[in-house]
Structure 1
Amino acid sequence: MSKNVIKTKNLKKTYFSEGENVKVLEGVDWQLEKGDSAAVLGESGVGKSTFLYLLGLLTKPTEGEILINDKKVSDLNETMRAEFIKRNIGFIFQFFQLFNDMTLWENLYFVAEMYYNKKQAEKKCEEMIDFLGLKDRKNQTAVYLSGGEKQRVAVARALLKDPLILLADEPTGNLDQKHAKKILDFLIKIQKEKKLSLVMVTHNPKVANYCNNIYTLRGKNLWRGEKK
C-alpha cells in the first residue's frame, strides 16, 4: 500500500449547461499523504468546491480516477459510494448546517446514533463536548449559540465517526477574524492529534497557511504553492 491516502489521476470535470460544455477541471494529477494537510487556494468560481466534492465522492468526475487508500472509488455505484462516505469521509461546510431548534447535545447525538448504539453514541457525544470545551452549553438551543460555537459543533459532527479524511469548504467563511483563528487552531490541533488527512479549500492565503501543503487552482489545474 502506498503512503498516499488520496490520489487523483487525470481528473476532469465538465458541466453541461444550456447546450454548452463548461470545463472546470482538466487533467488534475494530485496526491496527499496519510495524516497530512493541504489547502487549495483560488478565486470564487474557479472550481475549488467542485474539486472538494469530487474527493468526497459527492459528484463524479467526467474522466479520470480518484483513489483512496489505493482503492479506486470514483466509479463506485451509488450504494457503495454512500457507504464509503459514511465510514470514511467527514465534511465541514461554510454554513454550519445545524438544526436550530435542537440543543448542542441533540445536534451531535443525531449524527452519532447513525454510527453507534445508544450507549456508545452518548459516550462519543460527551467526549466530544468535553473536547470542545462546551460542557456548559450542551443544553443550549443551537439558534442561541455564537458563530464560533456553531462551527465547533459542525467540526465535532464531522469527527464523530472518526473519519479517515476530513474535507473543509471555506470553514471560516462566516466568522470574524477572532473566531476564525480559534476554529482554525482547533481544526489543525484535531487533525494532528487524530492524524487525519485534511483538505481545505479557501480564497484566503492566511487560512491556507494553517496547512502543511498549499496548492492554487487556476487554469483548470492545481499548482504547488508556498506559504506566505
Structure 2
Amino acid sequence: MNKSIEFRDIDKVFKGDGIETYALKKINLLLNEGDFVSIIGPSGSGKSTLLSIIGTLDVPSSGEILYGDKTVHQMSNNEIADFRFENIGFIFQQFHLIPTMTALENVMSPLFGRKVTYNKKERAIQVLEQVGLKDKMNSLPSQLSGGQQQRVAIARALVHKPKWLLADEPTGNLDTDTGETVYELLTSLNKSKQCGVILVTHDSILADRANTKVEMRDGEIVSVCQRQPV
C-alpha cells in the first residue's frame, strides 16, 4: 500500500454556546511516504489538532484524508483502532510512561491484548537496543533521566514497526543537548527504517532541518518548504 498521506479541504470546527471556532481551515497537503516533516507555528495555530487528525485520534468536520487509497475517517471505530495500531506510532512531550512498569513493560504495552506474529518481549528488547537503552530495560521511569524516558517513549512508538511516527513537541521538556540527541535519533530512524516522521515543534531551528517544513497560522497552512535530504 502507498503510505503517503493526503489532505483534501480539511476543516475542523469546534462548536459551543452558539459559536463556531475553526481550528483548521481548508487544509490541502500531501505528505510523501518516508518523509521527515516538521509542523511549526505559534500556539493556537492548529498544529496539535492537525496531528490528532493525522493520527486518527480525531476526525475532521469536513473534507477527507487519504492514507494511500484508504479514507480512514470513514471506517468503523474498530477498523480505525486496527489501522492506527498497524500504521502509526505516537511520541508525546509528556512521555506518558506508566510509572509502575519497567522500561521493557512500557515498550510492550501497546502489544497487550494484540495478536502479533513475533515474540513481544524479544521485539521490545530489540527496539530498546535501537534507542540505546537495552541496559535500562528493567528500570522504572523514576529511575531514568528525562532524555532516557523520551527514548523509552520512542521505543514504545516503534514496537509494532509503524509507517509513520507522530511526535508532538518531543524535545519540549528536555534541555538543548538532550533534545538534540532525541532529534538525531528520530532522524536516524527515519533514514534507516524508512519510517515517516511528523514533528510538531516551536523550535524553528529543528523545523528548518526537516525535509518538509509546514508553517501554520490561525488554522491555515501559510507555507510548505521542501529541501533535499542530506
| TM-score, L = length of structure 1 | 0.93
* Root-mean-square deviation over aligned CA pairs: 1.8
Structure 2 CA distance for partners of 1:131 and 1:139, relative to 1, 3 Å: same
8 A contact 2:108–2:159 mirrored in 1: no
The 5 Å alignment of 1:1-228 reads 5-115=4-114, 120-222=119-221, 223-225=223-225
Give the Cα separation in 1 of the matches to 2:200 and 2:211. 13
8 A contact 1:112–1:124 mirrored in 2: no
Give the Cα separation in 1 of the matches to 2:202 and 2:92. 14
8 A contact 1:24–1:46 mirrored in 2: yes
8 A contact 2:46–2:218 mirrored in 1: no
Structure 2 CA distance for partners of 1:192 and 1:76, relative to 1, 3 Å: same
8 A contact 1:41–1:201 mirrored in 2: yes
Give the Cα separation in 2 of the matches to 1:77 and 1:116. 20
8 A contact 2:89–2:164 mirrored in 1: yes
8 A contact 1:38–1:199 mirrored in 2: yes
Give the Cα separation in 2 of the matches to 1:119 and 1:214. 36
Q: Which runs of 5+ in 2 are unaligned?
A: none
Higher deviation after alignment, 116-125 or 129-138: 116-125
Give the Cα separation in 1 of the matches to 2:164 and 2:199. 11
Give the Cα separation in 2 of the matches to 1:226 and 1:126. 36
8 A contact 1:11–1:63 mirrored in 2: yes
Q: Percent identity?
A: 35
The 3-state SS of whatever aligns with 1:21 is: strand
8 A contact 1:5–1:70 mirrored in 2: no
Give the Cα separation in 2 of the matches to 1:8 and 1:86. 21
* Amino acid across the alignment from 2:162: P
Give the Cα separation in 1 of the matches to 2:168 and 2:160. 19
Q: Which runs of 5+ in 1 are unaligned?
A: none
Give the Cα separation in 2 of the matches to 1:119 and 1:113. 13
Moved over 2 A (4+): 109-119
8 A contact 1:5–1:33 mirrored in 2: yes
Give the Cα separation in 1 of the matches to 2:111 and 2:76. 25
Structure 2 CA distance for partners of 1:219 and 1:141, relative to 1, 3 Å: closer
Give the Cα separation in 1 of the matches to 2:113 and 2:120. 9
Structure 2 CA distance for partners of 1:179 and 1:114, relative to 1, 3 Å: farther
Q: How far 1:17 moved relative to its partner?
A: 2.1
| TM-score, L = length of structure 2 | 0.92
8 A contact 1:112–1:125 mirrored in 2: no
